[in-house]
Amino acid sequence: MNSTNKVLLLYVTKIKQANFLFLKLMRNVFYTAPLLFLYSSFVVIYYMPYININGKITDADSYSIITKNNAFKYGYGLYETMLVKNRSIKLFEFHWERLLNGLDILKISLPSYFNKQKIENDILSLVDKNKLSILCRVRLQIFNTGDGIFTSFDNHTGILIECFTLEGTIIKLNENGLQIGIAEGLFKANDSLSNLKTCNSLIYAMAAKYAKINKWNDALILNSKGNIIESVIANIFWVKDKQIFTPPLSEGCIAGVMRRYIIENMPNVIEKQLLKEELVAADEIFLTNAIKGIKYVSNFENIIYNSQIGKKIYNEIVYKLYC
């Protein structure tokens, strides 16, 4: 097997055995490993042989982590996960706007030679290099490379781009509904950082483990007030009497690009706080993110849900993204 195209098979019960990989490669350090295990008891991860680091394509196995790094030590950075299909970055404008907003909040400056067109070109060049232009997931990470909290405002910025294989079924509406539950004992702070996709993903990693222990497909995250705001890897919507609802950003959920896309194309969506009791009484529940699109939930608290509205949204709004 070619050493630059290794297949890493990780079992949920052996996550700790993979920790040494996270310390060797920067891409693994900043990737939240437990999130990979949702929806199956194990997963085969195909790491592509090439990455882009600071604007240059290089062999993935030749790059090692620099320990004097605020992203490694403190999770100081942002990332975007994007879907590429037929050499088109889906919802790229939304990703770019969210990224710029996050960089402004975190006081991270892009090098002058990195702009929107440069980032897009670098992503597509890497996709081409890895021969994944038909369908893949791209992870763009921008992080602070200073050494120490009090040097974090210095202009030391790193940019890492990776791409990963995807199965074609991932962008289709799921045939079998998801089973979900609440990650009890975990509460996400509601502050100026809560809408951002930061490199500090500990609460999601722990919630993912909670989901695996309970044999769920995903786990719901609570905010500090005890309201449901999102899942480990997605935003949440629910339907009652044909009315669609989703928690507002003010509740602390990630500002998901698919969430935004659906809201802008479904003007009747109401944003409101989500209590457990309301979800129990809902007619439908569905989860959304930029890679999986929309996935409907069939079971929460042993209650069975249908997917009539969710299917309609997929067919009328989400599907056209993938054409």
β-sheet bridge partners, residue 79? 141
Q: Is residue 203 a contact partner of residue 225, using CB atoms and an 8 Å limit? A: no
Query: Among residues 104, 128, 158, which one ends one of the domains?
Result: 158
Assign residue 316 the CATH number of its domain.
Answer: 3.20.10.10
For strands 270-271 and 243-246, give the pairing.
Answer: parallel
CA distance 253 to 248: 8
Per-state percent for the chain, helix, strand, coil, to nearest 5: 35, 30, 35
Do both 35 and 148 map to the same domain?
yes
**pLDDT at residue 244 tops 60:** yes
- Number of domains present in the structure of the chain: 2
Report the pLDDT value the prediction gives residue 231, as an integer from 0 to 100.
98
Phi, psi of 31 (to 5 degrees): -95, 130
For the stretch 30-40, pLDDT in tens is 333 344 445 44
Report the pLDDT value the prediction gives residue 52, as an integer from 0 to 100.
96
Residue 13: inside a domain, yes or no?
yes
Do both 183 and 317 map to the same domain?
yes
Question: Residue 244 carries which DSSP code?
Answer: E
**pLDDT at residue 191 tops 60:** yes
Q: Which residue has the higher pLDDT, 210 or 147?
A: 210
Do both 53 and 81 map to the same domain?
yes
**pLDDT at residue 21 tops 50:** no
Q: What percent of the chain has pLDDT over 70?
A: 84
Range of the domain at 204: 178-322
CA distance 95 to 107: 18
Report the pLDDT value the prediction gives residue 151, as an integer from 0 to 100.
65
**pLDDT at residue 11 tops 50:** no
Q: Could you give the C-alpha distances from 145 to 130, 155, 304, in angstroms and in order?
A: 26, 9, 47
Residue 171: inside a domain, yes or no?
no
Assign residue 54 the CATH number of its domain.
Answer: 3.30.470.10
CA distance 250 to 276: 18
Sign of CA dihedral 255, 261, 262, 263: positive
DSSP 100-141: HHHHHHHT-PPPTT--HHHHHHHHHHHHHHTT--SEEEEEEE
Gyration radius of the chain's alpha carbons: 19
CA distance 178 to 292: 13
Do both 228 and 317 map to the same domain?
yes
Report the pLDDT value the prediction gives residue 50, as an integer from 0 to 100.
96
AA identity, residue 202: L
pTM assigned to the model: 0.85
For the stretch 219-231, pLDDT in tens is 999 999 999 999 9
